[in-house]
Amino acid sequence: MDAVWLEWAALILTGVLGLLVSGHALLYKREARSALLWLLVAWFLPVAGALLYLLIGINRLQRRAQRLRAAPLPTVTRAAADDQTAALANDDLGGLARLVRQATGQPLLAGNRVEPLVNGEQAYPAMLEAMAQAERSIALATYIFDREGIGDLFVEALLAARQRGVATRILIDDVYVRLVRGSAFKFLKGAGLRVASFNPPVIPARLHAANLRNHRKLLIIDGRLGFTGGMNIHRPYWRPEQPAQAFRELHFRVEGPVVRHMAETFAADWHFTANERLGADFWGATPLEPVGRALARGIEAGPDETLERLRWAFLGALSVARRRVCIWTPYFVPDQSLLAALSAAALRGVEVDILTPVENNHPLVQWAGRAHYWQVLEHGARIWERPGPFDHSKLMVVDGRWACIGSANWDARSLRLNFEFNLEVYDDGLAQRLEALFQNARREAWPVTAAQLRARPLPARLRDGAARLLSPML
């Protein structure tokens, strides 16, 4: 009799859990594929499926972020420049400017200067020099902060800044704090610097820790000078003894009123993590004056209330393109909406070129990406794979006039699961310079053709197709 009751209790528990997971997925999952996947998991893996959903299927961070960010933060010193979105109303790019304005709520600011820094040999010295000259504050957010190699110089710069009386705040994503033996987090904390780890897991097993990461790279000096892009503080980017083997990357030095958008993003992340508000005493009270010709706007994006902002920016840019689109990304796993937009642009006669590495540091992502290639190639877009050291560069340029730069990749992890920061920049000079860098890199790359894809061994094609099923989580 007891065994019968236990069987009934297990059956009822399974049914209740399945219904709870199904109801939550149907109500809160934005994509039908994702909701269907979780329904199948819940019912075909009784109890275990519900536990998986509890661990990795629910975006707890979105609710927490909304609750913390509901309280107004002290505003970073506002720039004197007005929103320039309307000034582009009659321009070919006017629709794109309006779209990003509506999506982000941020003004398009005039008077900025953005300088590309190619690879660690240019980016790291510029960042370290700026830190050495800091007078008031240093705010640093990074996905990876190695203690060894180049990280030693950054640690020394932070310690020296503190000795000068400079306020420092350092934010490192928790995954690399916990999983990388050489992380600088413990040393920085032990040295008495103000350092925090973003979104530590609730459950020690860390089964859900791969998602909801802070992938942003921000360095802000005195609230006036910023650095952003895709570069971590990571040994593979800096190999003076073997410079030809170092990771390739693009990073950017930013001056002007748009630095305020970078500071606001860092301030929100720091408050979210450390529950400390950074106001004018940290950033400075002097307005940011124009220093250049570029119109620029920060795009803060993540799995909270800022979801979909970068996707909308990419889609909008593809829709207004008239001549050329250059996409430079280490991870190319676009969803169907982006695949359709890329194909539509190519069918309209736009030259669409996508540059990605031959060898990826995450093979599963590369396999899934190659399974999508044919959908782009069949409509006239071109894909190039660059050999040599891993190319981690992230860039989109449209018509030699508009550029989108920052930390985001062309995959679901950047567009849905992680926190990212990009800048959109309207500046012909910068866009053409970046396009020239892209074309130089493309000359070293190999074209991917539909015939090559079809000629690959069947096991490789099946492997890539199976990896593609995981695209929503890559």
Contact 144, 234 (CB under 8 A): yes
Give the H/E segment covering residue 37: helix 32-44
Q: Residue 56's CB: how many other CB atoms inside 10 A?
A: 16
Beta bridge partners, 383, equal: 354, 448
Range 339-352 average pLDDT? 97
> Roughly what angle, to the nearest 10 degrees, separates helices 2-28 and 32-44?
180
Q: Please tell me which residue, 12 or 443, carries the higher pLDDT value.
A: 443
pLDDT in tens, 405-458: 999 999 888 888 899 999 999 999 999 999 999 999 999 999 999 999 999 999
Contact 423, 255 (CB under 8 A): no
pLDDT in tens, 16-28: 777 877 777 776 6
Contact 251, 229 (CB under 8 A): yes
pLDDT in tens, 251-260: 999 999 999 9
Helix, strand, or coil (residue 370) = helix
Q: What's the rounded Cα separation, in Å, for the pair 355 and 343?
A: 16
For residue 391, name the pLDDT band (cuts at 50, 70, 90): very high
Q: CB-based contacts of 90: which residues, under 8 Å, 6+ apart? A: none
Judging by DSSP bridges, how do beta strands 195-198 and 167-173 pair with one another? parallel
Q: Residue 460's CB: how many other CB atoms inside 10 A?
A: 12
